[in-house]
Structure 1
């Protein structure tokens, strides 16, 4: 496979390489409520790395209709671009596949409250099959942030405050979503790398100040576990800066720790618009071009949700601002995961949809019941009068 990938890269123009490092959000390809051939010819002429939210990104889209759209886009990429490289399609699925008609499960904080690892793996396997039904390849879940400040606005998306529980839940989720291998499963994405759950003042996107030991023992631990134990295939950076360095341009996080220390060999994708934020929020880059250079040098392979700053990389190579070999490394990883996922031989066909079956709903109901936390016992749980003392663990 490596030889085949090198052969493709050697044939690519720098513009075609950069296209593999980008994404087009599905609405960019629509006009008047329909898939536009003109927009495909304009935005996909050099190929593309990913297509964002083709099933869940259009309001009211029926899954069956979305499959037709995916088929048309892949057909265009395979037959009408010079190299015929198909795209990865990504969706959200934190508490269920986030598309019309799919099963909704309790939020992550509820899943964590079950303390039931096999149950979480089963839920993720149901999500996997529903996503496969619509020919989606890449899931932007699970969220592996350890929540250390209850004021933070994304607490319910996390598995809680205990790093061991977060890691255990994350490993179970990744195993269920990816299955035995990503060719048969769905590419899982651990996010947000790293320390996102402890922002200054509890405000989302605020700076994070964590010492080295706490960073590794608490906030990196769930990611490390998912990489080493579950074979996590994708990582998403966080929005904030960690001790003054934005995560989107942190080579220490995205390359030195993730790849060199842990041996991660998957892809790193940007959180939506986080590369652009290097110049319009963090102000560490003067423009889109510099933001793109900082991000790819740090280790981000694909810019989501659309190619914006990375669009400038082709010009940066020609101007001598970045070595083309850095682009090639990222392209290699993108093509590698496309081969591993089986995209080049994938056949898209209509299937009967089994979304939200009785069995799936029963699983969601069982999970909801197990997620309930009793705060006050008003006769709900009978306690024997013969019990003389009860140990209460925790803080009042």
Structure 2
């Protein structure tokens, strides 16, 4: 079965060359640039070193870097958020040739993944085949309509399966952590990576390598657990599964010491982690170190927070000395959204946005991301280079890392998804759903069993199911995973299992969020006497 899957994936991924060129591209106006075994990306009529799939990786990177202008280099340092966020177009328009990304872009994040008001209504998100066609069209703009044809790295979330409307949904990372099954997590990673590449995404922002030590923290639902050993072992497996054969890049987050903010503060107050140096080394860093050294992690997201008063995203110590020099990281670092802006408007270590750009790129940041136009970072960076405040060497070093990852995942040679039919068969297939079901079963943990109520007695007459999530699966669709799936609720599952032989009574009990708490009852609508009598039977 694995051989059959591999063959199917090979069909999906044989892109951009000869007969495997998608029809929409092969019949296009620039079909003359596509040759047997290579693409004339800079349209000069000859095979340059960076266009030669057989050339040495470093030679390809250096050849391309030597041909790039300041404008093209700086465009490889920023994210363009996808449709419904910053980008207002599902497909390229003539206006794109006037936008800053006419000179390329480092990555496009969450494009057509089905999230947001617009994204969930787009046919290019909800229909797998149309999605593949649209992603190819966007990539074709960068291949055919930019001077050097540098492809975009399509990034996406994926901590419980790929954040695409039609992808396979898995338990969130705490569920995966509860399974204590390395082989299972490797398989989840493999499926996530396969589905990502088949849908046109080449970089997935996962796994979450943070360690959750305080249950008050608002993102506990994203981590494997509280133990650094568990997070390290499962993080390595997820990275290896996702990046198998360099099908995609995995980007671990959030580096560093992100999950232990003072008082478990979340939102705009993610600052001042109360963590000793010993805790940093023994608890919060091992998972990142293992993912890089053992898993070959190709991406890292820098976090919002500071440590000892120094913001991570503006810290040469963290992004260069520790991450690259100590851990041996050789991928590219992308900022968490707005963490560059936070250098001046939150942490107050930079005078303004331009100064924040300088601090971030000199610290070691490769790509800045935020829910704002990429111009906000690219234009100040160009000014800084022209003014001599950021050296061309520093810029080259940051761009080199981005290009290296793009070459490693093969998008210079295979920029398109060639077979939408194969993608439709692969994504959320019956086989993948079986792995998801296995993961769901293994994730369950019985914490206590008062009076041996489980397994249920065959003579039971009635059951009360109480709780706001019992008949609502919406909270299971955390935004960093598939959105188009619908699960079986607890209430539905119990009714399906017991049939009509047992009376099942349901009460919501309370809301997930009570705006008037603690001045209102936790259970504002108690069970009726008849309902309570049914439970007592």
How many residues of Structure 1 are paired with residues of Structure 2 in the alignment?
378
Aligned to 2:265: 203
Residues 91 and 134 in structure 2, CA contact (< 8 A), matched pair in contact too = no
Q: 1:272 to 1:65 in 2, by over 3 A?
A: farther
Residue 70 (structure 1) shift: 2.0
Q: 1:213 to 1:381 in 2, by over 3 A?
A: farther
1:231 and 2:288 are equivalent in the alignment: no
2:120 pairs, out of 59, 62, 67, with: 59
Q: 1:40 to 1:273 in 2, by over 3 A?
A: farther
Q: 1:115 to 1:23 in 2, by over 3 A?
A: same
Aligned to 2:218: 153
Aligned to 1:365: 437
1:317 pairs, out of 374, 380, 385, with: 385
Aligned to 2:7: none
1:44 pairs, out of 85, 98, 101, with: 101
Cα distance in structure 2, aligned partners of 1:168 and 1:77: 38
Q: 1:126 to 1:257 in 2, by over 3 A?
A: same
**Offset from partner CA, 1:205-259 (integer Å, 9 cap, x none):** 1321322221111100000011111111111111111111111111111100111
User: In structure 1, the residue corresponding to 2:333 is in which secondary structure?
Assistant: strand
Cα distance in structure 2, aligned partners of 1:263 and 1:319: 32
Cα distance in structure 2, aligned partners of 1:34 and 1:18: 23
Residues 29 and 36 in structure 1, CA contact (< 8 A), matched pair in contact too = no
Aligned to 2:88: 30
User: In structure 2, the residue corresponding to 1:44 is in which secondary structure?
Assistant: helix
- RMSD over aligned CA atoms reads 1.7
Residue 40 (structure 1) shift: 5.1
Q: 1:325 to 1:34 in 2, by over 3 A?
A: closer
231-240 or 61-70, which moves further after superposition?
A: 61-70
Residue 347 (structure 1) shift: 4.7
370-379 or 225-234, which moves further after superposition?
A: 370-379
Provide structure 2 residue ranges, at least 5 long, that are not aligned to the other structure: 1-56, 457-537
1:116 pairs, out of 181, 188, 193, with: 181
Residues 86 and 343 in structure 1, CA contact (< 8 A), matched pair in contact too = yes
User: In structure 2, the residue corresponding to 1:131 is in which secondary structure?
Assistant: helix
Cα distance in structure 2, aligned partners of 1:17 and 1:323: 13
1:118-133 equivalences under 5 Å are 118-133=183-198
User: In structure 2, the residue corresponding to 1:269 is in which secondary structure?
Assistant: strand
228-237 or 349-358, which moves further after superposition?
A: 349-358
Provide structure 1 residue ranges, at least 5 long, that are not aligned to the other structure: 383-396
Q: 1:73 to 1:158 in 2, by over 3 A?
A: same
Runs of 4+ in 1 over 3 A off after TM superposition: none
Larger Cα Rg: Structure 1 or Structure 2?
Answer: 2
1:86 pairs, out of 145, 151, 162, with: 151
